[in-house]
């Protein structure tokens, strides 16, 4: 078979051809020119960034040969398959002999971290006092697995991930030489998929040439690689902001139905969120300006909210491989994101409250000069309207407003309580109460009574909430400046216990004052 894959056909033969590692190429070239070549090197870095290629170019330049395969003084050894002490002992015996043709005997040991501990120990003395005609070059993707005793006896060069722009430029050059049509958007997607690896990029490019029949286009590339367009991610993010879970799940289903894997979706969504955050911070940079103008104007989240969403999604991705039902988990994640409360700028919140107080004060002053019936009604409408706006944002439980009007009970609805539930939880200092109240919903509300229902059939949680029923009731009443009696409903039989019943049950358990003091101190319960 005469065909040679691109990664081999276009493998660099000169330091100048190595992409994205200019700092290393320059250093090695200078070392050869100045005749200051070390006797041992370590090339470390991610896969496919040019470590083995640089080692081969270095070996050829040192011994002044054109073809590595034609030199009998340059040896390549795969430590993954030759990792034992026997192979290293044989190597130690061979290094004693002088080179046959070249100036040096050069040993390139790839995946060096795979050598056993015994093999490293056998090699240690040779590295410490190598024969003058021997050079070792170690290549590894996992430097942390290399013994410090080995690393300290070598010159270390750290290879970095190749920038996407450099990968795209190299692919453009190769495709032009191969006379294959392409568009830059497709190459950008391939470079992004390669994640800094030139070898991976060329392998994907080889595949896309076959898929696209020598004319690479974005549609075929996206479909073949399972890449989701940024516009689709923008749709999902926008629907999350609007809490439109129905349409959001429809868009998600369409994406998955097109052949995109669950892992590719969550990885792509995280990358999109990252681009949103970076473009927002670097919007004046021409590199990110286009993305910012295209998408960020439609984003309904603040930078802080985007950061929270990105953190949740990254944590989800880290645990993805352990999921039993990935699709259900991703759908649940998207729904959860839809109900995240948006953050509030504290300065704006304070200014808004100051405006409410000033309006109330001005209304109080006008009441003294005008007829009470009509003016009082107007005042209540303004205070009620401003209270509705204030409840949609946040509440500082420590804030005291002396002339604050008592809120009318008819504005307290299930939706109002639901929208402000997180803020109510913030006003409660006891962590165990907050954790339990996160799994509660409003069952019903009337003029004088609020009934909450535990979603989980958890008897232990129910008993704990009963112990702190008074505290919860006070927190809710204080937040809305109202007086409501509170009840907790548990399980399907809707067992309800009010405050009086709670007090009576506690009195029955108080068998000894010292015992009950200990129970209250450690938040315990009596198990019968």
Is the pLDDT at 225 greater than 50? The verdict is yes
Model confidence band, residue 469 (pLDDT cutoffs 50, 70, 90)? confident
**Burial state string for 320-337 with b = 16 or more CB within 10 A and e = fewer than 16:** eeeeeeeeebbbebbeeb
Rounded Cα distance, 208 and 226, in Å = 13
- Cα dist from 61 to 7, 70, 132, 149, whole Å: 21, 14, 17, 28
Token representation of residue 496 = 């309800």
Q: Which of 10-19, 89-98, 189-198, 410-419 has the lowest mean pLDDT?
A: 410-419
The DSSP line for 451-512 is: EEEESS--HHHHHHHHHTHHHHHHHHHHHHT---EEEEEETTTTEEE-HHHHHHHHHHH-S-
| Cα 457–Cα 460–Cα 461 angle in degrees, nearest 5 | 70
Which of the pair, 244 or 425, is modelled with greater confidence? 244
CA distances from 370 to 293, 363, 380, 430 (A): 54, 10, 15, 48
Checking if the pLDDT of 394 tops 60, the result is: no
- Is the confidence at residue 75, as pLDDT, over 70? yes
Number of CB atoms found within 10 A of residue 150's CB? 21
Band (pLDDT 50/70/90 cuts) for residue 391 is very low
Collect all residues with Cβ–Cβ distance below 8 Å to 315 and sequence separation of at least 6. none
What's the pLDDT score for residue 47? 92
Confidence at residue 445, expressed as pLDDT on a 0 to 100 scale: 74
Q: Which two tokens stand for residue 475?
A: 């927190």
Kindly write down the DSSP assignment for every residue of 299-316, as one continuous string. Answer: --S-HHHHHHHHHHHHHH
Domains of the chain by range and CATH? 21-158 (3.40.50.300), 164-225 (1.10.8.60), 230-338 (1.20.272.10), 406-521 (3.30.300.180)
* pTM of this structure: 0.60
Report the mean per-residue pLDDT for the chain: 79
Measured in degrees and rounded to the nearest 5, phi and psi for residue 490 equal: -130, 135
Percent of the chain with pLDDT over 70: 74
What is the greatest pairwise CA distance in the chain? 114
Instruction: Report, as an integer, the average pLDDT of 52-57.
Output: 94
What's the pLDDT band for 393 if we cut at 50, 70, 90? very low
Provide the token pair at 128.
């410490």
pLDDT digits (tens, 9 = 90+) for 259-306: 888 998 999 999 989 988 888 888 777 777 778 788 887 777 888 888
Tell me the C-alpha to C-alpha distance, in Å, between residue 460 and each of 381, 436, 447, 488: 44, 10, 30, 13
Q: What pLDDT, on a 0 to 100 scale, did the predictor assign at position 485?
A: 79
Using DSSP's 3-state secondary structure scheme, residue 277 falls into helix
- Residues 430, 412: Cα–Cα separation, whole Å: 25
Which is nearest to 120 in space by CA: 152, 77, 167, 83?
A: 83
**Does position 205 have pLDDT exceeding 90, yes or no?**
yes
| pLDDT the model gives residue 406 | 41
Q: Which two tokens stand for residue 107?
A: 């040993």
Q: Using DSSP, state whether 429 is helix, strand or coil.
A: coil
State yes or no: pLDDT of 378 exceeds 60. no
More confident residue, 492 or 137: 137
Q: How confident is the model at residue 329 (pLDDT cuts 50, 70, 90)?
A: very high
Q: Kindly state the average pLDDT of the residues 410-419.
A: 64
Strands (E), 35-166: 40-44, 74-78, 105-110, 134-140, 155-158
Half-sphere exposure of 65 (CA within 13 A, CB side): 20
């Amino acid at each position: 078979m005469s065909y040679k894959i691109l990664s081999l056909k276009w493998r660099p033969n000169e330091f100048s051809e190595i992409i994205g590692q200019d700092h290393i190429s320059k250093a090695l070239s200078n070392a050869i020119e100045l005749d200051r070549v070390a006797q041992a090197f370590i090339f470390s870095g991610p896969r496919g960034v040019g470590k083995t290629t640089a080692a081969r170019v270095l070996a050829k330049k040192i011994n002044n040969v054109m073809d590595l395969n034609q030199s009998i003084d340059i040896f390549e050894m795969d430590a993954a398959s030759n990792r034992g002490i026997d192979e290293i002992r044989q190597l130690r015996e061979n290094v004693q002999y002088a080179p046959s043709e070249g100036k040096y005997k050069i040993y390139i040991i790839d995946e060096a971290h795979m050598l056993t501990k015994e093999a490293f120990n056998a090699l240690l003395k040779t590295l410490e006092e190598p024969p003058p005609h021997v050079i070792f070059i170690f290549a590894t993707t996992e430097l942390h697995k290399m013994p410090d005793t080995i690393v300290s006896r070598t010159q270390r060069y750290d290879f970095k991930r190749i920038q996407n722009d450099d990968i795209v430029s190299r692919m453009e050059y190769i495709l032009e030489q191969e006379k294959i049509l392409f568009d830059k958007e497709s190459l950008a997607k391939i470079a992004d998929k390669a994640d800094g690896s030139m070898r991976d990029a060329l392998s994907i490019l080889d595949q896309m040439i076959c898929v696209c029949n020598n004319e690479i286009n974005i549609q075929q590339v996206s479909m073949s690689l399972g890449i989701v367009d940024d516009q689709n991610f923008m749709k999902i993010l926008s629907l999350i902001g609007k809490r439109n879970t129905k349409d959001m799940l429809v868009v998600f289903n369409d994406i998955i139905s097109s052949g995109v894997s669950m892992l590719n979706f969550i990885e792509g969504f995280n990358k999109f969120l990252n681009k949103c955050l970076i473009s927002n911070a670097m919007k004046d940079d021409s590199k990110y300006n286009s993305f910012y103008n295209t998408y960020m104007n439609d984003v309904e989240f603040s930078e802080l909210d985007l950061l929270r969403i990105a953190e949740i999604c990254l944590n989800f991705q880290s645990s993805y491989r352990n999921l039993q039902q990935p699709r259900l988990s991703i759908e649940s994640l998207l729904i959860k994101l839809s109900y995240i409360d948006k953050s509030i700028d504290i300065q704006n919140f304070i200014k808004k409250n100051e405006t409410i107080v000033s309006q109330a004060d001005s209304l109080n002053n006008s009441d003294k000069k005008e007829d009470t019936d009509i003016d009082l009604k107007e005042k209540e409408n303004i205070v009620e309207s401003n209270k509705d706006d204030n409840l949609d944002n946040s509440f500082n439980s420590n804030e005291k407003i002396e002339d604050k009007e008592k809120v009318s009970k008819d504005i307290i609805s299930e939706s109002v309580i639901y929208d402000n539930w997180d803020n109510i939880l913030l006003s409660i200092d006891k962590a165990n109460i907050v954790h339990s109240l996160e799994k509660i919903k409003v069952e019903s509300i009337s003029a004088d009574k609020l009934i909450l229902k535990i979603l989980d059939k958890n008897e232990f949680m129910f008993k704990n909430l009963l112990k702190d029923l008074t505290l919860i009731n006070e927190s809710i009443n204080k937040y809305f400046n109202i007086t409501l009696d509170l009840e907790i409903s548990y399980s399907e039989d809707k067992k309800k216990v009010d405050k009086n019943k709670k007090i009576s049950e506690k009195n029955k358990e108080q068998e000894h004052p010292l015992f009950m003091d200990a129970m209250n101190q450690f938040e315990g319960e009596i198990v019968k």
